[in-house]
Structure 1
Amino acid sequence: MDESFNRACLLEHNRLREKHGCPPLTLDSKLTKDAQEYAEFLAKVECFVHSSGDHGENMSLRVGFGKLNITGEEVTNLWYREIENYKYGDKVQMECGHFTQVVWKDTKKAGFGRAYTKDGRKIYVVGRYYPPGNYQGCCKLNVPRPIS
């Protein structure tokens, strides 16, 4: 497990959550282990599909040539950028689900994983969250507008 990657993801999540008045997340060892294992599975089978379970989940896939990388800060901001299309209200908007999970107020802990395919041309990133977000009828309370 890449502790510096996890720390960078967590710090950026908490910086962005603070902008919305949401409490900070804590890093959870089980969520981290599970996220890393799932990222490694995705990289092995080269498939991009969400898992099932009682957690929230954000995923990202970067494809390219040469020396690929994605930092914790970059992937968190990639997910957060969906705020540009978010319409505040009580309806879950699937096209903004990464953003809403990043700032979901009731989520308390998270863990992250990053894995490369064997040929190094793809990077899979998985974020796991608990309690999960993106419940219909709960967005108004859990996805506040930025404070400033």
Structure 2
Amino acid sequence: MSCFGCSPQYPSVKQFTSEGLILHNTIRRKHNVPPLKFAKDLVQHAQEWAEYLVKTNQDTPEVQHLRRKNIGQNITVKDSYENYAVDYSGYGHFSQMVWKDTKEMGMGKAIGNDRTVIVASYRPAGNGLTKFTDNVKEPNDKVLIFKYFKM
């Protein structure tokens, strides 16, 4: 598998979440927005949801998002992030990664049923249509985003 975190080279949750935070903040820096910080409760939230999705054998695009007040979410199954490139406007959840007003995140990963599920939870949630222009900034260079996800 070639998605971020799908590789067995991440033996610990701590290493996986640390790399995930670095990835997010690298991309956020390119969009001129402040870095995220980890929140332990969001890590727990994301981990529990990833385990549930593996257990219930859900698959994209039907994968179910957990609805919690003021928490945004991104979920990937296997290698769906491989296709991020210069024109990522078609990926609605990408905006959550670079949403300026989002301050905290947590990540979880579960493996089973021949799949790897990665969940990222964010607080406060982003992707509000009326606030998009204020929160999603143009990148300061046109990099290929997918290079960050290949392992």
Structure 1 residue ranges without an equivalent (≥5): 63-69, 87-94
Segments of 5+ residues of structure 2 without an aligned counterpart are: 1-11, 142-151
Task: In structure 1, give the amino acid aligned to 2:119.
Answer: V
- Counterpart for residue 102 of structure 2: 107
Percent of pairs with identical residues = 34
Instruction: Provide the secondary structure at the position in 1 that maps to 2:106.
Output: strand
Q: Write the letter of the residue equivalent to 2:64.
A: V
Out of 96, 106, 109, the residue aligned to residue 91 of structure 2 is 96
| Secondary structure of 1:112 counterpart | strand
Residue 87 of structure 2 corresponds to which residue in structure 1?
84
CA contact (8 A) 2:88 2:94 kept: no
Count of paired positions? 125
Do structure 1's residue 60 and structure 2's residue 76 form an aligned pair? yes
Amino acid corresponding to residue 81 of structure 1 in structure 2: Y
**Structure with higher helix content:** 1
**Do the aligned partners of residues 106 and 29 (structure 1) sit closer, same or farther apart at CA in structure 2, a change above 3 Å counting?**
same
Secondary structure at 1:84 match in 2? coil
TM score, norm. by length of structure 1: 0.78
TM-score normalized with structure 2 length: 0.76
Letter in 2 for 1:130: R
Kindly provide the CA deviation profile for residues 55-85 of structure 1, in whole angstroms up to 9, marking residues without a partner as x. Answer: 00000001xxxxxxx7xxxx8xx28927614
Provide closer, same or farther for how the CA distance between residues 37 and 13 of structure 1 changes in structure 2, counting only shifts above 3 A.
Answer: same
Give me the whole-angstrom Cα distance separating, in 2, the residues matched to 1:9 and 1:97: 19
1:1-148 aligned at under 5 Å gives the runs: 2-47=13-58, 48-54=63-69, 55-62=71-78, 78=81, 81=84, 84-86=87-89, 95-117=90-112, 119=113, 121-148=114-141
Does the C-alpha gap of structure 1 residues 83 and 98 become closer, same or farther in structure 2, counting only changes over 3 Å? farther
Q: CA deviation at 1:96?
A: 2.1
Q: CA RMSD in A?
A: 2.0
* SS of residue in 2 equivalent to 1:96: coil
Q: How many Å apart are 1:130 and its aligned residue?
A: 0.2
Q: Distance in 2 between matches of 1:141 and 1:113?
A: 29
